[in-house]
Amino acid sequence: MPRHAIVVIDMLNDFVGEKAPLRCPGADDIIPDLQKLFKWVRQRENDDIHLVHIQEAHRKNDADFRVRPVHAVKGTWGSDFIEELYPEGDEYIVPKRRHSGFAHTDLDLYLREENIDTVVVTGVWTNVCVRSTASDALYNAYKVITLSDGCASKTKEMHEYGLNDLSIFTKVMSIDEYIESWEKGLDPWIGGGDKENKVE
């Protein structure tokens, strides 16, 4: 069987919840589904699925603030994980300063050390940080799965556009479908991508 890393992107105070200054409204809706996924992973006896938490943690004068409002500054409340999806135990945390969880971080090194072959993307925003991380995962030769109900964006339209792009090179599926595949002993990634160029 494959070895997966479920990469949870930027489920942080500055993005999620009514007090979030750079709020992603759809993020509130995916919390229960992600909680269900976390519980399922944490109860597994095998270590073939890892939870990896991506944490945007900018420096005060980060170049990202030339194009976006100031957000998720390292060490602040806004850069911390929301309480409902807080990392536990030895789940790995990857700080980042760019959209992709791979850009100038040690995510790829961690995945290779743990013999991970498949990256499963969740979190916010579907069309920005999730898509960028998924793209870089492909560039680094990982198989990629997108959990459609584990991702969200600022609007439903942005989310759908993001999923459409992601369906070109990832396997887009629901959390229930993902769990069911594992429970049946199947590789959830089988059938991923768009080999027949059908995506429009």
- For residue 85, tell me if it sits in a domain: no
Determine, yes or no, domain membership for 70.
no
Task: Judge whether 190 lies within some domain.
Answer: no
Domain tally for the chain? 1
Residue 94 lies in a domain: no
Tell whether 146 is covered by a domain.
yes
Does residue 132 lie within any of the structural domains?
yes
Answer whether residue 1 shows pLDDT above 80.
no
CATH number of the domain encompassing residue 173: 3.40.50.850
The answer to the question of residue 75 being in a domain is no
Identify whether 172 is part of a domain: yes
pLDDT tens-digit series, residues 140-193: 999 999 999 999 999 999 999 999 999 999 999 999 999 999 999 999 999 999
Q: How many whole angstroms separate alpha carbon 119 and alpha carbon 3? A: 9
Residue 19 has pLDDT above 90, yes or no: no
Q: Which domain holds residue 167?
A: 4-11+23-54+99-184
